[in-house]
Structures are given as structure tokens and as C-alpha cells.
Structure 1
Amino acid sequence: MIETLTNKQALYFIPLGGSEQFGVNLNVYVHAGKMLAVDCGLGFADERFPGIDLLLPDPELLEENRDQLVGMFITHAHEDHIGAVAHLWPRLKCPLYATPFTANILKRKLEENDIKKAKITIVDPAGEIDLGPFSLSFVPVAHSIPDAASVVIRAGGVSALHSGDWNLDPAPVAGAKTDKARFKALCADGVDAYIGDSTNSGVPGRAGSESEVEDGLYSEIAKYHGRIFVTTFSSNIGRLMSIMRAAKLAGRKVAVVGRSMQRMLSAAMECGLISDDVDILDMDAVLKLPDDQVMIICTGSQGEARAALSKIARGDHKAVSTKPGDVVIYSARTIPGNELAINSVKNNLIQAGVRVVTPRDSQHKIHVSGHPCQDEILELWNWVKPRCVIPVHGEREQLDTHAQLARTAQVPNVVVPQNGSVIEITAQGVSIVDHVVTGLLAVDQKRVITAHHRSITARRKLQYTGTAFGSIAVNAKGKMVGDPFLETVGLIDESDDADLKIEDHLYDTMIEAFDDMRAADRKDDGFVAEALRIAVRRKANQILGLRPKTIIHVIRV
């Protein structure tokens, strides 16, 4: 497909993920037959994908043109931007580029997946590199994780600013402030296109500063005498530092639960990002302390079933459990789509006598967003003077709101993409010129499959309809040998006599259907299996109003 993108005075932008949903960010820039990838993140699956926790962007376009892929730059180490690399790199085998902390996390993820041949080049957050026909100039930006960077990409006389995730936090706890001077220097003549974060595009004002959260958390924690649990994103290093400092001010000792959070803290310590005034104890030591001296930081702010807080709320965690008088503080926003899972965790906690505090419940500032609100977006545009705005990183609502903000700000051109849009950026203008097929992949435990894989479709169906399995032995003359077997899953309660009679009816239906067959038809295994399947399924529908997945095995003896 990329061979058709022939305008030598154009830079092409193709979002393969992240422009219709939160997560699974994967972006591609094309010029002179070469490709540059920016970010490769994962998303979290919902109830539409039973048995699946993680979703990935489908890299088919990159895979098919792997020889033309000059590299992949990761803007920062949040999972929605970095989390898919280890799953997809074996398909791409391209050079990887990242700032120091991001590179540390990336190296750990690759090692966990036994990937040893990937080459990671560490770049200066305010440096520059050339990759094939692309010139990349990086800009340090504030975000809820250290070493985040925007990148100005130049090729064919065209410039595009890919913002990544950022905000204008005036006093970040971890990492640098957004470099206004560098933005203005790199974009002194404006940029042909701004490809930017849409997360908070509908939120007026400014996101606030992470430095305010430490005071807010301390004020909230000081109200309670029981044990305190705080949950947040494992990769929010600034927030983890704010929580730990607030705990120290409140006279509490800290333990951390959740492997992903422990890994992030280990990487931050290795990179010298955790200050010396922070102490972390093991869980056994903390649990021996009086309740009013205990602080436990845990993963699970988005209701992830396997995260620490979810296990604790269910009573499934091996090391720690809750008790009446405990307090759980959510120092994180709810990502759209995770509401049901989060509410389930909260309900379990409340039922156990635990007090739950969210940012909406507290009169103190216990969370700020790492993404820019409207005033910050407008301020950055004032620095970089975009001739076109291309909103990404959000659902359609956020993209459209971002686009409307640009129109209100009188940006000359606005192009709202979908995943797969092929956008031609030139000095004369920006427009959608084509479309490529995109999709999602699913991490199914030990394999990666397409999100529309038949196994997932079957599981989804089984969630709602149940299943019936039957077998019947038939000899060469078409006579039944012994008794048939029938078992159902998801249709009856085996402890209920009335329900057992339903299964008996299905069993009798199978026998009657066989008895009603002609002798010649009984010699055809396929005919027997299909006739019995239809009979059992029809009977289940008559009794229960369900059409279960029905499988009948014919054993010829």
C-alpha cells in the first residue's frame, strides 16, 4: 500500500490504533517509501472478549512492509503507548528508540518475554536523530511518568508535531517541565500539522500540578486512624512519590502490592528518580505496625480482575486482606469503559466495612490528570502555530471536541481521523487521501489472536446461551448401543430437582429423535449428529427460551 504514497513533498500519517478508542496507540509516518512508527500500546478488554485481558493494535501494515520500517519511537512508558511492543516486536524486528526511563521499562518488558535481539537506542529527551528520510527532534514534556517526550518529525519539507501525552504542570514531582523554549525554537515558523492528545480536550481550564496532590493526599489521610490503601496507576511515578511523601508526613510506613508497580518503582530507583526520603518496607513488616501507621499502595485502580486491589476486595490475595475501619483511596481517574469493573471492586470493599474515597468524594486534591485541558492545549498551539490539527488519543467524542476547540481557535485546517485513515500532510494543506484496514489483536494467555477469532466469538455466545454436549454409540446396522450421554453447561442448577428434569427432557428428546430416523439415515454419522443436535437445541429453546451451543458425537461401533 505504501508504494502508492508517492508525493515527495508530503509526509503521510496513518493512525493504526488509538484514534477511535483509549489505548492501543500505534501511529505510522510514511515518506519516500519508508515508514516510522510512533508508540505501540495495549488496551484493556471488556466483556465482549471473554477470557481476554489485553488488546493490541494489529500491525499488519508494518509487518507487510517490514523492510521499509526504519524504526519505532516510544514517547513514554505508559502501557497504552509501550505495552504492545514486547508482543509485536517479533513480527516487526525493527530498531527501537526511547528516552532513558522509557528505555529501561522497555528493556524489562522485552526480557520478560524472552526477547534478547531487540536493539534499543536511548535518545536525549531534548535531542535529535535522523532515521532514513525522517528527521526527529525531541521535546521534554511533563506527564504523569518521567522522560515523556513530544517529537517534531520533518520529511519532504513538511513538519508534523506528534505530541504524545503531555500537560503544562508547572511543578512536576517526577520528570521535567514541558520545554516551552524548545517548542518555540523548533516551531518558530509553525508546523504543518499538530497530531495531539485529545483526552481532556473537553475539559476547561488546566489539569493542575502533581505537586498539589501530595498536600491533598496528606490532608485526606490525616482524617483517618485505620489502615490506608491507596490505588493508582502503577506507571505514575510522580503520584507514587506524592503518596509516599504524604504517608511520611502522616507518620505512616509504606508497602507496595502489585508486580507491575514494584517493577516500575525498581526502574525509577535504577534511573535515580526516587528521592532518598522515601522508604518502602515489605508487607510483613508493615502489617505488624499499628493501624494508624500503615499505608499500602496497590495496583487495580481500573478494576483489573488480576490486579492487587481486586484480589484484596474479593478476599483472594495471599498477603493482605481488608477489615472494617480500613480506608481505600482512589488516586486515579476512571478510564471510560472501566466503570463496571471498578464499581464491582468498590462494592466488595464497602460490603466488607471498608470506606472508599474517590477524587469526587474528597474535598482535597487527591488526583490531577497527566493530560492537557483546554487552556493548556491553546497555550501550546500559541507556541507552535499549527496550520492543521489532527486529534488522536481518544474516543470519537474527545476527537470531535478537540477538533471543535481547534476551529474555535481559528486553526486553518482540522482533520479528524479514524483508525486506518491515510492523511497526506503538505505545506499546501492536509487531507485524508485513502484508508487502510485496521483491527485489534487479543492476548489469549500464551498466544496472540485476532480480536474476531472464532474462539472468542464462541466464548461470547456461551456466556449467554450455555452449551449441551451429547454422544451416542451406534453399530453398523444403525442400532443404538448402550445408553446415550448428555450433559449441559450453563443451563441448569444440578442441585435443583426441577432443573434436573429439564436435562431429562433433553435426554429423552435425543433418544426420540434417533428412534424416529429411518434405518438408512442411522448409518450416516453426519446425518445422525445433525438431526440430534437440532432436536436437542429446539427442545432447549422450547423449555428455556435459549439456543445453546449443541454438540453431538456419534461413535460408530
Structure 2
Amino acid sequence: MNLNLYGHDDQWLMVDCGVSFDEPLVPEYQSETAQTSHHPIVCADPKFIVERKDTLVGICITHAHEDHVGAIADLWPRLQAPIYATPFTAEIMRRKLAERGLEGKAPVHIIPTDSDHTVGCFDISWITMTHSVPEPSGLIIRTPLGTVFHTADWKIDMSPGLGKSFNIKKIKSINEESELLAVVGDSTNATKPGQSCSESTCYHGLRETIRHQQGRVIVGCFASNIARIISLAKIAQETGRYLCVLGRSMDTMVSAARLTGYWPDDVELVNPQHVGYLPAHEVLLVATGSQGEPRAALGRLAADSHRLLTLDEQDVVIFSSIIIPGNEKAIEKIVSQFNARKVKTIQVETHNLPIHASGHPNRDELVQLYQWLQPEMVIPTHGEHRHMEAHADIAKSQGIRKTFVGKNGDLFRLRPQPSIKRGVIHAGRIVLSRD
């Protein structure tokens, strides 16, 4: 989950407000509201900023992934601050707010992609990055004391399949800032060598895999990966299949993509009610549940409890996603359920073709970033401690002398003297109630 606070001149700016799924509440992160040691959905305890909400000038959401936007409807009544997001992200957020009766109450300012806006004492430039969701934004945050580049989630992808390719010129221009104090950056894949796979490479791997299948093809992927779903739509057209999406979150994301202009006019979807009547070799399904969620579409298909469709031996299930740490047993369970019914499964880790592309930078991309940018310091975020340490080592290898690897609740002072103060905020978790 992500919730970052930037402070200057007695004003605070929040960047992202996300959730984490199925997270154990280890003692150092338990807050007073946690009654048990494990909960399916949690978010950061906002007590520190709630107590100072009169100084919270705005909430900037960088993109529409749940670990960045998922808690906004839950926490906004306690924060009461204006929200800023680009069009696709704002549409996803609008739906979340509407479910809580907050649409029209929480002020949402739609920021055009690659534009500038002032929030309190912070002058902010939104930069479109490349990631696995439409409109991923890095933020250039300026104050009179200097500039911070908050990368959020990103990768270098010159053929992302949807939206703009990675803007090298714009990234290089950040180095021209009068005082680039810090890069606060994504560490998720810092331990992985080389460069991340392009979405266009993933498209070719999926097409080659799917075109040899004789029965139904069911692809499990993250609902927010609109580029992946559109790639599968093209593959369906090229292989003589009809595309259908299964799962509520998949429907939500596709609907938002249509409304914001990201869904191609020539891509049609088959109604799920009709899929069972089509010849098996003409069916390509994209389903939720790639992380083993039992109530999602893939989980129901694995348990043979989906009300619209039963799979058989000629069908194949492709997992077009990584296994998120902690979900191994859940995924293993549904794979075993499919295999027990002789339904073939294909997974990223064992397949000989690229069928998934990560949305985060590998080592070579981080090296490239710090060849383009030379901030005074680097603050690794987004990952386990080992990922952030690896990120710091990469920055040092490129001549950046100051790196600060912290923990949740630490305060990073950028001016006048860069330093880190440990445990300033009690970084607890709170449980979110969801149906």
C-alpha cells in the first residue's frame, strides 16, 4: 500500500492513498483498532495527518491501482481534502466514492495528463510514465527549497501497447531543475537483472501461445491492465475467437476505459451469457482471480461453480500475471483444481514464452534513470527492505552519494541538512470493512 506525505511551510501534501490485501498485522504495525492478527484488506493508519487535517492542502493520486487509490473512499471523510488525479484515475475514484455516497461531496479535480497544477505551496507537474494501467503519473513536486521527483510505479517501455511510450526527453528535463533534491522511487524489481519485458513482447508471446490451442482459452490477469486486455482482444480477432471478460472489477475497468477514450471502437465484447453457446475454439475469456481469489471468476471456474460456464479437458487456463508473494498457496489451490479436472494450466514461471510483463523497473532501468538524473539524494520506496537496499546500491553505483532507506513512519528531512529521523509517526494499519 502507498500513502506518502510531503511537508513544507506548515502545509502537507498527500501522494496516494492505497490498500493492501490479505496482510498479516505484525506487532510493530498493529494499531489500536486491530483486534486480530490478520485481515483481508488494510490501509495505513492516517492518525498523524488526520490530527493535522487543516494543514492538508491536497491528495494527489498517481494512478488507479488499488495499492495507490484503494483507500481513498474509506479515508476521505477523515481527511476532508481536495483530490487531484488524471481522467482515467479520476473515473475509477469516482466510482469508489459513489459506492460510499461521497460523489459530489469529495472534491475531485481532474488534471490533464502531462500538465502543471499548484496545490497549496507545492507546484506540481504530472508526467505520464509507463506502467500496467492507463495514465500512470510521476510527480515533480517543487517548493522554494528545491524539487522532488516522485516516480510512483513506472518502467521504461517504448512500446506499451496503450497510451504514450516512455518520455525520455521529459525525464531528462527534470535534471534541469534548479535544485533536484531527491528522487523518491519505485524499488519493486530492483533485485532483478536486466530490463523489464515490454508489453508488446508480451503480446507476441500470448499470441503464439493462444494460436495453438484447440479449445477455450481463459486468461487470468489484473483487471486494471487495460493494455493487456486490448492485446488479448487483438489476439482474439487474429485467431478467430470472440473475447469476453468475466468479473466485476474487469467490467469496471473496461467501462472506465471506454468513458475515457482508451478502449478501441472496433473492439467488441461478447456478453458472458452467450459464451456457453459458442464453439469452444471460438472463445477467449479474460477473467479476474489470477491471484487465487476463490470468489473471483477464475476461482469459480476452478471449483466448477461458475453459473455460466463449465470447462473441460480441451480448455486451457493461462495465468498472465506474476505470483504476488503471499498468494502462492491460493494460486496453487486453483491450479490443482483445474488439473484435477484435466484442464491445462500455463504459468509465467514455467512457460517458454513471455506471457506477462511487469510494470516496474528492473536494475538496468534504474541505472538508466540515474544516468539521466543526478539528484542530491535518492529515497527508495515501494518494496521490501531488500528491494530498497538494492535500489540504494544502484543509485550509489551511478555516483549518487546520499541514499536514505527508511521504514514506514520515518521522517526524511531534505533541507537544510538532509537526514532521516526514525519512527516519528506510529505507522499502524487499520482494517477496512468490505462486502
| Fold similarity call, TM over 0.5 | yes
Q: Distance in 2 between matches of 1:239 and 1:407?
A: 35
Equivalences for residues 302-321 of structure 1 within 5 A = 302-321=291-310
Equivalences for residues 395-434 of structure 1 within 5 A = 395-426=384-415, 428-432=417-421
Q: Does 1:68 align with 2:45?
A: no
Partner of residue 155 from structure 1, selected from 111, 122, 143: 143
Structure-2 residue corresponding to 1:129: 117
Structure-1 residue corresponding to 2:382: 393
Q: Distance in 1 between matches of 2:314 and 2:44?
A: 43
Q: Distance in 2 between matches of 1:292 and 1:158?
A: 59
SS in 2 for 1:444: coil
SS in 1 for 2:183: strand
Contact 1:423 1:434 in 2 (8 A): no
Gaps of 5+ in 2: 26-35
- Structure 1 residue 433: Cα displacement: 6.2
Q: CA deviation digits over 1:372-414, x for unaligned, max 9? A: 1111112122222122111101111211111122222221101
Contact 2:366 2:394 in 1 (8 A): no
Q: Does 1:59 align with 2:46?
A: yes
Matched residue type, 1:406? A
Q: Does 1:168 align with 2:180?
A: no
Contact 2:23 2:42 in 1 (8 A): no
Contact 1:424 1:433 in 2 (8 A): no
Partner of residue 181 from structure 1, selected from 169, 172, 190: 169
Contact 2:409 2:422 in 1 (8 A): no
Contact 2:58 2:82 in 1 (8 A): yes
- Structure 1 residue 360: Cα displacement: 2.3
SS in 2 for 1:417: coil
Q: Distance in 1 between matches of 2:241 and 2:39?
A: 38
Partner of residue 191 from structure 1, selected from 155, 180, 190: 180
- Structure 1 residue 100: Cα displacement: 1.1
Between structure 1 and structure 2, the one with the greater Rg is 1
Q: Distance in 2 between matches of 1:322 and 1:332?
A: 21
Contact 1:31 1:156 in 2 (8 A): no
Equivalences for residues 462-477 of structure 1 within 5 A = none
Q: Distance in 2 between matches of 1:113 and 1:323?
A: 40
Partner of residue 321 from structure 2, selected from 313, 332, 355: 332
- Structure 1 residue 206: Cα displacement: 1.0
Contact 2:377 2:400 in 1 (8 A): yes
Partner of residue 40 from structure 1, selected from 9, 12, 17: 17
User: For the structure 1 residues 270 and 445, does the alpha-carbon distance in structure 2 shift closer, same or farther, using more than 3 Å as the test?
Assistant: closer
SS in 2 for 1:192: strand
Equivalences for residues 439-478 of structure 1 within 5 A = 439-445=428-434
Contact 1:220 1:362 in 2 (8 A): no
Q: Distance in 2 between matches of 1:182 and 1:240?
A: 28
SS in 2 for 1:274: coil
- Structure 1 residue 288: Cα displacement: 1.0
Partner of residue 82 from structure 1, selected from 64, 69, 88: 69
Structure-2 residue corresponding to 1:30: 7
Q: Distance in 1 between matches of 2:275 and 2:361?
A: 37
Structure-1 residue corresponding to 2:32: none
186-195 or 75-84: bigger deviation: 186-195
Normalising by structure 1, report the TM-score. 0.73
Contact 1:301 1:342 in 2 (8 A): yes
SS in 1 for 2:7: strand
Contact 1:256 1:298 in 2 (8 A): yes
Structure-2 residue corresponding to 1:275: 264
Matched residue type, 1:41? G
Q: Distance in 2 between matches of 1:136 and 1:234?
A: 29
Contact 1:142 1:177 in 2 (8 A): yes
Matched residue type, 2:310? S
Greater RCO, CA 8 A, separation 6+: 2
Q: Distance in 1 between matches of 2:8 and 2:286?
A: 46
Gaps of 5+ in 1: 1-23, 447-557
SS in 2 for 1:163: strand
240-249 or 42-51: bigger deviation: 42-51
Q: CA deviation digits over 1:144-187, x for unaligned, max 9? A: 11111100112241211100001110111112122222222233
Matched residue type, 1:416? V
Partner of residue 249 from structure 1, selected from 238, 243, 247: 238
SS in 1 for 2:245: strand
Q: Distance in 1 between matches of 2:432 and 2:310?
A: 30
Matched residue type, 2:363? Q
Contact 1:413 1:430 in 2 (8 A): no
Paired residues, number? 423
Normalising by structure 2, report the TM-score. 0.93
- Structure 1 residue 125: Cα displacement: 2.2
Q: Distance in 2 between matches of 1:403 and 1:337?
A: 25
- Aligned-residue CA RMSD (Å): 1.7
User: For the structure 1 residues 307 and 401, does the alpha-carbon distance in structure 2 shift closer, same or farther, using more than 3 Å as the test?
Assistant: same
Q: Distance in 1 between matches of 2:15 and 2:260?
A: 23
